[in-house]
Structure 1
Amino acid sequence: MAQQPSARFPFRPVAQLLGSNGPVHALAYSASPGTYILTGSSDRSIRLYNPSSTAPAPVAASNTITSARGPSVSTTPLPAGKLIQTYTSHAHEVLSLAVAPSNATFASAGGDRAVLLWDVATATTLRRFGASSTAHSHAGRVNAVCFAGAGGGDDLVVSGGLDGTVRVWDARSSHPKPVQVLAEARDAVAALAVGLPGSAADAEILAGSVDGRLRAYDVRAGRCVADAFPASVTSVCLARDGRTVLVGTLDSKARLMDRKDGTCLRAYEAGPRRNEELRVQCVLGGGERFVVAGDEMTGDEEQEPGAAGGAGGGGDNQGRLWAWDLLTGKVVAQVPVPWGSGSEARRKVVGRDGKPKERKNVVSCLAWKDGGFGDQFCAGGTSGVVTVFGH
């Protein structure tokens, strides 16, 4: 019997994943039971970690935690998760990752306009869907990738990119052309989600676009339904039953939408939180009890007087993420995300005036274990260090 997720939000850092030489743009847990974590980085590499098999951190990392219940501070160094494998075939930054239900393969996409299908065990690429030299590839960077197929299989790979198209690829065929191209978007496709078999979104592909639309494609019926939002859609997280979807937009809000009639059931926002320029992810977690989102801001930049738990900035532009109760919309935790060991070189950046400046640790990517029903999640961004959170 599956373990029931805790009703408490798991806001305590338990491990850090080291090794990236640049910001982390993509995270994905392995399929159930979610033992491993994949990370995709701007250094063009994908890394596979076991977060539970840890070693002591090389440098002590501050473990300051701020929640709605009050601050709690610990200076215990975070242990480092075990790096198992590194995958290198992308020519540019890795922007999206998806793990097949069988855990035998995974898909990646990035700035080189290609979608790659990998063999986990051998660290080799099985297929390359599109490339700069083919007429069938995306015309720009690929922002999102996911698996689809009958019975929740991995026979189809779906990708969405800067060219505004969603492309469906046959993972079992050697034919270079996509089996379907969905080109209704009027701007870049930033996020994708696919309904699970037997859910209300079975055989549907959801695509969030910078044109402010969330399009739901019913592949079987050949129908497209679009919902309009007041800002660009940059994050899409479909509930397991397919009846609701969490949509993140560039107006600093996340919205829980009813799939049946397109109504907004709840909006999630916090005064100090900002998401107006970058693709910042939001996910459902804790058995879909919580909404979790990253932040473009840090506690050092802006504080809201009287906010639950305070800003917890720590004075070093460390990142932060937010968690809301799904039903009430109340903030349940504001969690600082440390820079982590080995990220010192990325804290400084030279400004346009030629002077060194402190860089923000923008928390842009999230993943929750077991599709939102596990007891752990991870967060990454500018620092290049992925922080794993648990109880």
Structure 2
Amino acid sequence: MSTTELPRKETNVLKGHEGAVLAARFNGDGNYCLSCGKDRTIRLWNPHRGIHVKTYKSHGREVRDVHVSPDNSKLISCGGDRQIFYWDVATGRVIRKFRGHDSEVNAVKFNEYASVVVSAGYDQSLRAWDCRSHSTEPIQIIDSFADSVMSVCLTKTEIIGGSVDGTVRTFDIRIGREISDDLGQPVNCISMSNDGNCILASCLDSTLRLLDRSTGELLQEYKGHTCKSYKLDCCLTNTDAHVAGGSEDGFIYFWDLVDASVVSRFRAHSSVVNAVCFPLSLLFDGTQKKS
């Protein structure tokens, strides 16, 4: 994707949430998107037509993250009620509630087969859950973090967590090895490049940092936005040519991956942009305001 193809203004507004939208995620093919927020709901949308498709209600407090399975048939969500909800997309039925975190849950991800879910919590742990069994207990707990775990990424063999303790930790589940990269600043979001070679970390010193996944080397830093108090998403565009991130001043920023220059920025909201997601050739964002 060239710089001229980057989004520079909104193409649609999806209205329905009663309060702040805390996360927004596209499904695998980019035809639908999900949002969740302070109103304790998850909402499914057709963003291209601006249509609200379905609302999922069961959480007792705010919903902080949502993820859809690769085949688009299941959802996983988490939030302030300390629980992870496993949903059937079509019926809206809660298949299972996973319990075990001692505090709020910040992030959830399916593995590539949607057989396992990994969650990240304020209780300084990552927890893995088996979707195929009827058990509601975690099958693995990783508790070597020194502060809240804010974000999680998965590969075929690794669980990667980003924490307020300033580290990005990689756990190889085949051999039980842990590698810790200390960034020196609280980490509130991590995402993986599409080629799988890099990790992008958003830190609370208003800096995004790009790490080589195999060596932990700091490859680049991206600045210009404001990120000091909120959990703000960051990601790479579908070609890995640009970095995208939200800002507390309501702007969305795009940086050149290599030279870290700001190549585009535009005001998306009147308040904090919590979430950015870039599937295929689209961008959707969530904001810290009533929408």
TM-score by length of 1: 0.73
The SS at the match of 2:94 is: strand
Distance 1:122 1:48, change over 3 A: same
1:141 alignment counterpart:
104
In the alignment, what sits opposite 1:314? none
What residue in structure 2 maps to residue 227 of structure 1? 181
In the aligned structure 2, how far is the partner of 1:381 from the partner of 1:337? 9
Partner of 2:289: 383
- Is 1:287 the equivalent of 2:245? no
Alignment of 1:193-342 (within 5 A): 193-195=153-155, 202-270=156-224, 273-297=225-249, 319-339=250-270
Name the SS of the counterpart of 1:296 in structure 2: coil
Decide whether the 8 Å contact of 1:25 with 1:364 is kept in 2.
Answer: yes
Which residue of 2 is the match for residue 49 of structure 1?
Answer: 45
1:111 is aligned to: 80
Larger radius of gyration: 1
1:92 alignment partner in structure 2: 61
Structure 1 ranges of 4+ moved more than 6 A: none
Query: How do 1:11-90 residues align onto structure 2 when only pairs under 5 Å count?
Result: 11-31=8-28, 33-53=29-49, 81-90=50-59
Distance 2:184 2:54 in 1: 42
Note the alpha carbon deviations across 1:105-138, whole angstroms, 9 max, x for none: 01000000000111000011111011xxxxxx10
Distance in structure 2 (CA, Å) of the matches to 1:147 and 1:223: 21
Q: Verify the 8 A CA contact 1:251 1:275 in the aligned structure 2.
A: yes
CA contact (8 A) 1:367 1:377 kept: yes
Distance 1:230 1:214 in 2: 10
Task: Return the alpha-carbon distance in structure 2 between the equivalents of residues 153 and 256 of structure 1.
Answer: 27
Supply the AA of the counterpart residue of 1:41. G
Identity %: 34
The whole-number CA distance in structure 2 between the counterparts of 1:123 and 1:286 is: 30
CA distance in 1, matches of 2:88, 2:125: 26
Q: How many angstroms apart in 1 are the aligned matches of 2:181 and 2:8?
A: 33
The answer for the alignment partner of 1:175 in structure 2 is 135
SS in 2 for 1:17: coil
Give the TM-score of the pair, scaled to structure 2. 0.97
Kindly state the Cα deviation for residue 290 of structure 1 after the two structures are TM-superposed. 1.0
The answer to whether the Cα contact below 8 Å between 2:27 and 2:72 also exists between their aligned partners in 1 is: yes
CA deviation after TM superposition for structure 1 residue 6, in Å: 5.2
| Structure 1 alignment gaps of length 5 or more | 54-80, 131-136, 196-201, 298-318, 340-360, 386-391
Give the structure 2 partner of residue 155 of structure 1.
115
Gapped runs of 5+ residues in structure 2? none
Q: What are the Cα deviations for residues 329-362 of structure 1, in whole angstroms up to 9, with x where unaligned?
A: 11011110145xxxxxxxxxxxxxxxxxxxxx11
Larger relative contact order (Cα-Cα within 8 Å, sequence gap ≥ 6)? 1
Measure the CA separation in 1 of the matches of 2:101 and 2:74: 22
In 1: Cα distance, 2:195 partner to 2:245 partner: 21
Q: Is the 8 A contact 1:6 1:375 kept in 2?
A: no
